[in-house]
């Protein structure tokens, strides 16, 4: 990456903070932020620094292994800090869709292999979150696609999940992916694809399928991926974060 991008990214972050547009939350009250270290334990902890970029892992209902890949987010956030200069909080935050804390985080992440299914109340909250300025990255670690497509249709019955063209900015800033998302793990003989729900021209949901970039973010010994694969996964993650922060 061109190192000249780093001060520009830091400047952008400072401008966003100054303008107060890092997050628009339509909620009357919020609880303290939570950092969780074990699945299912939602104990309270010290709130994260609001001046840093934080990704919250979504503890979605339905039985899927939402906690999959414990080293993934810290590694991605460390890479973003190193490559862009954007200050990050690389301690994993976890939040349920039923919690008002959801509206504290402009970027949420979901992954796993199993089933996702929201309650009727969760559907309303997720739509409000996404149309109020939130961004949701979903990584299919293989096995989620059917339930994710169903739940997105329940959240947005009036919108279609569309494949993003390879010309979309998410594939070109700051790193180039002229053929779309990288193929990190080979599950089926199918190309990696990135799908989106749009709110106007803005991507509010980015769903990456047949790629498994989340596994590529994990510690090298977890999946023993070659360095080139891990680098591609981390770079794609950085592109998604930069898009979410700047669009």
Say whether 126 sits in a helix, a strand or coil. helix
Closest CA to 156 of 197, 122, 125, 194: 197
Distances (CA, A) of 229 to 86, 134, 216, 236: 23, 29, 7, 11
Q: What pLDDT was estimated at residue 185? A: 79
Domain coordinates of the chain in residue numbers?
A: 5-246
| Reported pTM | 0.84
9: left (phi over 0), alpha (psi -120 to 50) or beta: alpha
The arrangement of strands across the sheet holding 107-112 comes to 93-95, 56-58, 107-112, 135-140, 202-209, 193-199, 162-163
Alpha carbon distance 242, 130 (integer Å): 17
HEC string of 171-201 equals HCCCCCCCCCCCCCCCCCCCCCEEEEEEECC
Q: What is the pLDDT of residue 40?
A: 45
Cβ neighbours for 158, distance < 8 A, ≥ 6 positions apart: none
Topology (CATH level 3) of domain 5-246: Rossmann fold (3.40.50)
Q: What pLDDT was estimated at residue 49? A: 63
Question: Shortest CA distance to 144 belongs to which of 187, 177, 183, 102?
Answer: 187
Q: Which residue has 């981390």 as its token pair?
A: 234
Q: What is the pLDDT of residue 198?
A: 97
> What average pLDDT values come out for the chain (247 residues) when binned by 10 residues?
45 45 39 34 50 94 92 96 93 94 95 94 98 96 93 97 98 97 83 96 96 91 89 97 93
Are 104 and 171 in contact, with CB atoms under 8 Å apart? Answer: no
List, in sequence order, the alpha helices (H) in the chain: 5-19, 72-84, 120-131, 145-155, 213-216, 220-223, 227-246
Please answer whether residues 43 and 71 qualify as being in contact, where contact means their C-beta atoms are separated by less than 8 angstroms.
Answer: no
The confidence score (pLDDT) of residue 50 equals: 72
| Strand 135-140, strand 193-199: pairing | unpaired
């Amino acid at each position: 990456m061109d190192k000249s991008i780093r001060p520009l990214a830091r400047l952008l972050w400072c401008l966003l903070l100054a303008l107060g547009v890092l997050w628009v939350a339509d909620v009357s009250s919020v609880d303290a932020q939570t950092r969780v270290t074990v699945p299912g334990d939602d104990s309270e902890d010290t709130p994260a620094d609001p001046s840093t970029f934080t990704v919250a892992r979504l503890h979605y209902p339905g039985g899927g292994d939402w906690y999959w890949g414990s080293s993934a987010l810290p590694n991605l956030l460390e890479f973003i800090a190193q490559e862009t200069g954007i200050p990050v909080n690389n301690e994993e935050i976890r939040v349920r869709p039923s919690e008002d804390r959801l509206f504290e985080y402009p970027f949420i992440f979901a992954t796993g292999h199993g089933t996702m299914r929201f309650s009727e109340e969760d559907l309303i909250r997720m739509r409000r979150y996404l149309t109020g300025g939130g961004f949701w990255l979903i990584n299919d670690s293989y096995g989620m696609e059917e339930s994710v497509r169903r739940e997105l249709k329940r959240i947005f019955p009036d919108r279609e999940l569309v494949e993003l063209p390879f010309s979309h900015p998410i594939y070109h800033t700051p790193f180039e992916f002229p053929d779309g998302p990288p193929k990190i793990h080979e599950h089926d003989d199918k190309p990696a694809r990135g799908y989106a729900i749009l709110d106007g021209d803005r991507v509010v949901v980015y769903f990456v399928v047949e790629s498994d970039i989340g596994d590529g973010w994990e510690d090298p010994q977890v999946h023993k991926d070659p360095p080139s694969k891990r680098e591609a996964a981390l770079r794609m993650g950085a592109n998604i974060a930069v898009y979410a922060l700047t669009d």
